[in-house]
Structure 1
Amino acid sequence: MITPAEPSRSTPLVSIVMATYNGGRFLREQLDSLVAQTYPNLEIVIVDDASTDQTPAILDEYVAVYSNIQVYKAEQNLGYIRNFEKGLLLCQGEYIALCDQDDIWLAEKISILMRQRGHHSLIYCNSELIDAAGERSGVKLNDLKNLLDFWTPLNYVVGGTASGHAMLVKREVILQSVPLPSMVTHDYWIGFVATLSAPMKFVHEVLVLYRQHGGNVIGVNGGGSKATKKRKISKEERDELVRQRMKLMYEKCPEQPVEIKKVFYSLSKSYQNFSFSNNFTRMTIFFRYRKEITAYKKRSEFRRWLFCLKMFYKIE
C-alpha cells in the first residue's frame, strides 16, 4: 500500500487530478501508471462525472488498495469542465498535475518535472502518440506542433500547444484560473493564466504516452468520434465565442506590464465587428507581434506573414 510521505522542502506534495466519465476501457492502464510514479509525495484526486460503465467499480478497487487515492463521485453529470474544475479545487498539493483517463504516464514523469521546474509556475513535457491498443507510433507531439518555452500571454492570442495531460502547475495558477471559462479548453486557459506571471517551461523528453482513439474528448486533431464531438456551430456563433474569449483575456490581464494590457484592449475592441478600422487594427497588431502571436504555429516565416494578413478579413 502506498502511503504519501510527509511534505518537506525537497518533496512538496503534488496532486494528480483526473476527471473520469465512462472511461473503463483504458482506466486501469492509466491508474497503474499513476501509482507507479517514483515521486514520493503524491495524492491522486479523481472526480467521476456519474459514469454508467465499469469506471466506478474500477475506482473502488484502487481506493481499497492505495491510501493516497481519493475518489469523489457526482450524483448527476456536470460536464467535463465543471467536473474537472471540481477536482482541481479538491487538490491540496503545492503543485498540480493534470491527467486524462486514457493515457499512460512514464514512471519518472512527476519526478523529472519537479526536478526541472525551477521558478516556473507551469512546466510541461513532450508526449508520444499511441493507438487504442497501446502501440507506440514513434510520433511525438513536437513533431506535429510547435512546443517551446512560451514566454508571454501574447503567445495565447489565438492558440497554444501546451497540453493539459503534460502539465505540472503551481496551485496558485490553478486558483487564479477558476472558474474555468466554457468557451475555451481548460489547458488553453490555464496556460494563458500561467504566462500572465512567468514564462512556462517545456521539457523535450517524452513522459506521456498520449492515446488516440475514437472516444477522445480532446485529441491531437481536436476531437474524437462523431458521437463525442460538439454540434457544428454557425459562423456567427463562432465569431461571438471568439469575441467573448478576447474580452475575457483582456479582462484577465493585470495592469502591468502596460504594453500587454494595451495590446489585449486593442484586440478586444478590434474583434467587435468587421469594420475597415477594426480589421486594419487587428491585422497591424498581428504583424507587429507576429513572433509572439504565431509562436505556437509550426510554420515558415512566409506562412506566418500570410496568417497575419488573413486577420484583415477573418476573425480567429
Structure 2
Amino acid sequence: MEERTVSIVMCTYNGAKYIKEQLDSILAQTYPIHEIIIQDDISDDGTMEILQSYASDNDIIKIFKNEEKLGANANFHKALSRATGDYIAISDQDDIWESDKIAHQIEKIGDAMLCIGRSWYFTDDGSFIHNDQRIPNYKLGQFFFTGAPGHNILMKREILNLLPPDVSVRKVAMYDGTYAFIAAAHCSLIYTDKVLVRHRRHKEAETYKDFSRSLPGIGNFFYILRWCIKHYHEAKPHSDIYVEARLELLRSLNCDNEISHTAIRMMELHLKSGFWSKLRLGYLYSKNCNWLFKTEGFSLVKYIRGWLYPIMCLYSFRFKLK
C-alpha cells in the first residue's frame, strides 16, 4: 500500500522553555514525516532562534512568522492551510510525543476523517492536573460546548475543505473542537485508547485553564449547578453566540444521519425562549444522554443530568464573564 504523507502543524508563541523537547520527539517519530510546518505568533523570547537552528539541520521544517499577532486560534487556522500532506497532525509547542504516535494513528484511522488518542497530563510547575482513566465519549454531543485535545489529533487534510471560509465558528470556537465537531457530525471520528502524547500543563501556556471544578463528583456537580443558576442571565448570551455558530456550521455540512438531525433540533431549541422549548430540550438531552456526556452509556444519573444540561452547559462560558 502506498505510504500516506503526514504534515505536522505547530504554532508557537514564547515557547523557548520547552520547545526543544517537543521538536526532538517529533523528529524521533518512527513514521516518516513529510513536513513540519511551524508558524510563530511574534515570539520575543528566543523561540525563533531555536526554530531556525532546527530548520538549518532538518529540511522538512518550514518556518513562518506572522506580521501581526493572531492568537492561538487564528494562528492555527492559517498554519493548517499551509499543509500539503495527506494527513495533518496538530502539535503543541510544549508537549512530548511518544515515538510511535503518528505510526499508531495512521494504522488506526482507517477511512475515518479524524483520530484522537489518549493524552497523559503532567506538570513541572505545580499546575493542577488530573488524568481521567475513563474511556471518553467523542460523539457529536460532546462537542456542543467543549473542545477537543488538538495536540492529539490526526486528521485527513480534506477535512479542511468542509469548513466554509466565512462561517462565524472560525472566530467563536477553537479550531480543534471545530474539526472534531465536523468529523463527529459525519460519524467519522475514532478514538484509540493508547497514550500518544505527554501533555504538559503549565500556567504560562496560552490556553491554560484550571478545570479543577469540572471533575466528576457530587460536590462539584452542585457547585456547577449553583453557579449556572446564579449566572444564568450573564452566561446565556455567550452560550447563544456559540450555539448559533455551531448550528450554522452543522447546517452547512448537510449530514444525513440521525445524530446530526437530532443535534440540529437541540441547537434550535437552545436558541428559543419559553417553558415548552426548554422542556422539549431537556427531554431531548435526557433521551440522548448516552452520547452527550464525557463518557458513553446510559445511567439514571446521566438521565437526570440531561434534564439539567440546558442550564449546566453554561458553566463552559464562565471564562467569558468578568
TM-score normalised to the size of structure 2?
A: 0.80
By how many angstroms is 1:275 displaced?
0.8
The equivalent residue for 1:156 is 143
Question: Among 169, 182, 196, which residue is 1:207 paired with?
Answer: 196
By how many angstroms is 1:239 displaced?
3.0
Deviations 1:59-95 (A, max 9, x none): 1101111010000111111121111111100000100
Question: Among 145, 156, 160, which residue is 1:170 paired with?
Answer: 156
Instruction: Answer yes or no: is the 8 Å Cα contact 1:253–1:261 preserved in 2.
Output: no
By how many angstroms is 1:306 displaced?
2.3
Task: Map residues 109-128 of structure 1 onto 2, 5 A cutoff.
Answer: 109-128=101-120
CA distance in 1, matches of 2:306, 2:91: 34
The equivalent residue for 1:61 is 53
Q: Quick one: structure 1 residues 285 and 24, their matched pair in 2 at CA, closer, same or farther if it must change by over 3 Å?
A: same
Q: Quick one: structure 1 residues 255 and 108, their matched pair in 2 at CA, closer, same or farther if it must change by over 3 Å?
A: closer
RMSD: 2.9
Question: Among 64, 73, 78, which residue is 2:65 paired with?
Answer: 73
Instruction: Answer yes or no: is the 8 Å Cα contact 1:21–1:50 preserved in 2.
Output: yes
SS class of match (2:196): strand
**Unmatched tracts of structure 1, length 5 or more:** 1-8, 224-231
Aligned residues: 291
CA distance in 2, matches of 1:117, 1:255: 20
By how many angstroms is 1:280 displaced?
1.1
Which residue type is aligned with residue 307 of structure 1? R
Task: Map residues 78-227 of structure 1 onto 2, 5 A cutoff.
Answer: 78-132=70-124, 140=131, 142-143=132-133, 146-148=135-137, 150=138, 152-159=139-146, 162-177=148-163, 179=165, 181-219=170-208, 221=210
The equivalent residue for 1:304 is 302
Q: Which protein has the bigger helix share?
A: 2
Instruction: Answer yes or no: is the 8 Å Cα contact 2:270–2:310 preserved in 1.
Output: no
Q: Quick one: structure 1 residues 10 and 311, their matched pair in 2 at CA, closer, same or farther if it must change by over 3 Å?
A: same
Instruction: Answer yes or no: is the 8 Å Cα contact 2:162–2:253 preserved in 1.
Output: no
Instruction: Answer yes or no: is the 8 Å Cα contact 2:6–2:87 preserved in 1.
Output: yes
SS class of match (2:280): helix
CA distance in 1, matches of 2:209, 2:150: 12
Q: Quick one: structure 1 residues 123 and 116, their matched pair in 2 at CA, closer, same or farther if it must change by over 3 Å?
A: same
CA distance in 2, matches of 1:110, 1:16: 10
CA distance in 2, matches of 1:114, 1:266: 35
By how many angstroms is 1:245 displaced?
3.6
CA distance in 2, matches of 1:73, 1:312: 42
SS class of match (1:282): helix
Instruction: Answer yes or no: is the 8 Å Cα contact 2:145–2:313 preserved in 1.
Output: no
CA distance in 2, matches of 1:74, 1:270: 40
SS class of match (2:170): coil
Q: Quick one: structure 1 residues 271 and 99, their matched pair in 2 at CA, closer, same or farther if it must change by over 3 Å?
A: same
